[in-house]
Structure 1
């Protein structure tokens, strides 16, 4: 038995729309097919191919009807739904650092940057609306 690759990651949120905006308008994902679960949510894709079921699954929490989510994934307290918990961050490879900096600056988003010299890699760290840390990895040459 071999594990091939990361299939997706899921985030529970009380603000589905803020997460949609972040992942589509900031990171450039696309909302795509999602099965008709008995709880709100969206599946986000990096491209047009939907055969791999999306990269990010945003799980909406409906405080007026939590039963569908509880039955499917179990219950979690709302207090536990901020940040990455034991997972430190989620990373993506990217290009177009100047454009991303402009986009983030124009929206007043806080970022941290650093270059890993031995890897020729420039990293940008930011947080999604749920406080999950996202790392964007660019070629270091773009950081000039």
Structure 2
């Protein structure tokens, strides 16, 4: 039997690494981590105790073209404050779908990165 200890990282394909780095570093303020000198281009970020890895893949059939679909594949980040996260996204002019009273049992905000990868921010109701 596999004994799981937790999720280590999520990897996403991106078409333009510099554009993706601007979004994750400057807009979302993720903290960049050192990355081994792989042959591929990419960047690693700390997200709490987990990591997000972005891998440049200029030609990929796996990248989506549609808008925010909350039932599509995505990753979720738990945040301290729904209100403050929403206010920050407004200040940074990031489009989102907000579900403050989601039947999920917590408040949700869904955004798209520049490559249309879906990111969910979850928080306690009323936070």
Shift of the alpha carbon at 1:87?
A: 5.7
Shift of the alpha carbon at 1:118?
A: 7.2
Shift of the alpha carbon at 1:29?
A: 1.4
Partner of residue 64, structure 2: 82
Partner of residue 34, structure 1: 35
Shift of the alpha carbon at 1:36?
A: 0.3
Compute the TM-score of the two structures, normalised by the length of structure 2.
0.79
Question: For structure 2, which runs of at least 5 residues remain unmatched after alignment?
Answer: none
Shift of the alpha carbon at 1:100?
A: 2.1
Matching of residue 109 in structure 1 with residue 94 in structure 2: yes
Shift of the alpha carbon at 1:23?
A: 1.8
Contact 1:28 1:46 in 2 (8 A): no
Question: For structure 1, which runs of at least 5 residues remain unmatched after alignment?
Answer: 64-76
Partner of residue 23, structure 2: 22
Compute the TM-score of the two structures, normalised by the length of structure 1.
0.70
Contact 2:33 2:46 in 1 (8 A): yes
Q: Which aligned pairs between 1:38-117 and structure 2 lie closer than 5 A?
A: 38-46=39-47, 55-61=51-57, 77-82=59-64, 88-114=73-99, 115-116=101-102
Between structures 1 and 2, the one with greater helix share: 1
Q: Which aligned pairs between 1:119-138 and structure 2 lie closer than 5 A?
A: 119=105, 121-138=106-123
Number of aligned residue pairs: give it: 121
Between structures 1 and 2, the one with greater strand share: 2
CA distance in 2, matches of 1:104, 1:118: 21
CA distance in 1, matches of 2:24, 2:115: 12
Matching of residue 5 in structure 1 with residue 27 in structure 2: no
Contact 2:79 2:85 in 1 (8 A): no
Report the structure number with the largest CA radius of gyration. 1
